[in-house]
Amino acid sequence: MATLDPANGTPGITTATPGRFRLPLRRRAAAGDGPVRAALAPLLSAHQAAHPGADQAELLRGYAVAERLHRGQLRRSGAPYITHPLAVAMILAGMGMDTTTLVAALLHDTVEDTPYTIGEVRAGFGEEIAVLVDGVTKLDGERWGERAEAETFRKIVLSAADDLRVLVIKLADRLHNLRTLRYQPEHKRARYAKASHELLVPFAERLGIHVLKREMDDLAFAARSPDAHAATGRAVRAALRDAGEAFGPAMRRVRRSLAEHGLRAAMRVRPSHLYAVHQSFRGRLAGLRPCEAARLLLVVDGSERDCYVALGAVHAALHPVAGQVRDYIAAPKDNMYRSLHTRVISPAGDPFEVIVRNRAMHPVAEYGIVAHVRDAADGASGGTATAVAGRRDLVWLSRLLAWQSGATSAAFLDGLRADLAADLAAGNVAALTARGEAVPLPAGATALDFAYAQGPAVGDRCIGAVVNGRLAPLSVQIRSGNVVEILTDPSGAPSEDWLDLAATVSARVHIRLGLARRRAEEAAEAGRRRLVQALAGRHVDLLAAEARGESLAVARALGYPETDAMYGALATGALCLDDLLARFARP
């Protein structure tokens, strides 16, 4: 029977027997354990390296089920389809993810593209794996039509709120599809890569998984702009040929200074990824210098205090550029990234960036939330599924959940793109409430955005703000460290001009919802007045009819859930007055 290649959206061929696949008994899986173990050897090895002593039985069983279900299906490259879920699981194993996540990765396309059901996943592998598999399963395009993409992303976001590993699996899935994108037609490559840059890469940034973000960035860049990607690659490679000569003298000075301060640190030149270089120089790469294509990374053996001492040692060895120190240790980024960044001048006169962190910060700086999940799987946090609950670096997810429910499919997808892009555009600010609670906002956010960050009940009724003790309009831009108090009025309501003041998607969504509610209320009031006047001429009292429940009964009979909806339809012309009068007229 014909199937759809879930990674590429292309037809594949399967020779599987039609009908429901039955989960193999454990003894059957054990009988074929040899070939399964051989196929799974690299994955088992990578998982054991991260989690020594982990039970391999569930991985073997998950692979056996996935391989049988996908047997006969091919990727567009011609490779057996099972190579895709296996590759996704390998990516996750390389990051040290737990056994449950790896099993879900092996099974992640079974429900979407085979007769296997979520119920069978739940029966065979338990609720936790079923939740992960269901979370990454795309919605049926035939059923959802043009809404399928938006509602699939909404489903992923909602599932990630319950278990963030859904989003991690989705990112690994997209990374492997980007790695194999060359097998797609050119027009599909560009579209797929654009969607990756707009939606998936920002999620990797939000979760702090920079090892995925960097590769996804570059692969999507290569697909969208192959000429620019090739030119950037050539420029970076040419620049890095002289990296040793350019960075060597500076590193020797820093090494001596660290020793004088009694510190030890691993030090290495770290090339910037190609997309970052392309964006920084806007494609103008002629004469790219080594210090423009790479940074110096110091990983200190010591405490947070030692990181600041190391920063001083760097500044003692190399002249610092004024105003270029960024302290992400005292004030971590939203994704909990912690490091010190500074810009210094090399002995040859070239400015370059130095990053300082300690060994405890390094895994989180590279793997973000995955580092915390990995610690939980090792027993450090008391359970993988709950390891990330209530984390400050997931405030963005709470904000996203708060506005998405009121958005249509198209508005949700557009809003999601804008929301993700806003946080990446120019960094974030962290303002404070009067109680000292931090409120992260994108750069350029106003007091109105701050109000809606407190919830729609505050935002809809705000009338002004007090910023650092002084009265300020809702249009004032909020800066990091500002202490903001929102003034409200119980009778306050959103106005049209607020849409020009709001910088965040969540604020704009709630403003539009508030305006829609107000328009609906005004229409209902106008429709009711019209009906009152028309019924009065027939000696019918609408207020009495409402009290007896007759008005609600008429509304329900016409298909409206409440009387206000019926009155609003009358005001807009969707409901004919004569038809309505006939239902109220006395016999």
Closest alpha carbon to 132 in 96, 153, 103: 103
- Catalytic status, residue 113: yes
Distances in Å between the Cα of 415 and the Cα atoms of 128, 219, 357, 380, 506 are: 30, 25, 35, 37, 8
CA angle 453, 454, 457 (to 5 degrees): 115
| Cβ atoms 237, 297 nearer than 8 A | no
For 424-493, give the DSSP string: HHS-EEEEE-TT--EEEEETT-BHHHHHHHT-HHHHTTEEEEEETTEEE-TTPBP-TT-BEEEEE-TT--
Q: What number of other Cβ atoms are within 10 A of residue 515's Cβ? A: 16
Are residues 76 and 60 in contact, defined by beta-carbon separation less than 8 angstroms? no
Other Cβ atoms closer than 10 A to 464: 18
Which of 33, 112, 350, 366 is labelled catalytic?
112
**Torsion sign, CA atoms 88, 89, 90, 92:** positive
One DSSP character per residue, 64-91 reads HHHHHHHTT-B-TTSSBTTHHHHHHHHH
Q: How far apart are CA 190 and CA 196, in angstroms?
A: 10
Cα four-point dihedral sign 462, 464, 468, 470: negative
Neighbouring-strand partners of residue 344? 320, 352
**Out of 5, 67, 98, 113, which one is annotated catalytic?**
113
Integer angstrom CA distances of residue 246 from 238, 249, 320, 325: 13, 7, 17, 22
CA pair distance 546, 553, nearest whole angstrom: 9
Report how far residue 125's alpha carbon sits from residue 103's, in angstroms, rounded to the nearest whole number: 9
Q: How far apart are CA 70 and CA 532, in angstroms?
A: 66
Angstrom distances, CA of residue 215 to CA of 59, 273, 352: 26, 8, 23
Give, for 354, the enclosing helix (H) or strand (E).
strand 351-358
The H or E element containing residue 304 is: helix 304-317
Residue identified by tokens 């409402």 is 546
Q: State the CB neighbour count (10 A cutoff) for residue 408.
A: 11
Residue 136: both structure tokens together:
């990454």
Is 112 labeled as catalytic in the residue annotation? yes
Contact of 55 with 99, CB cutoff 8 Å: yes
Active site residues: 112-113
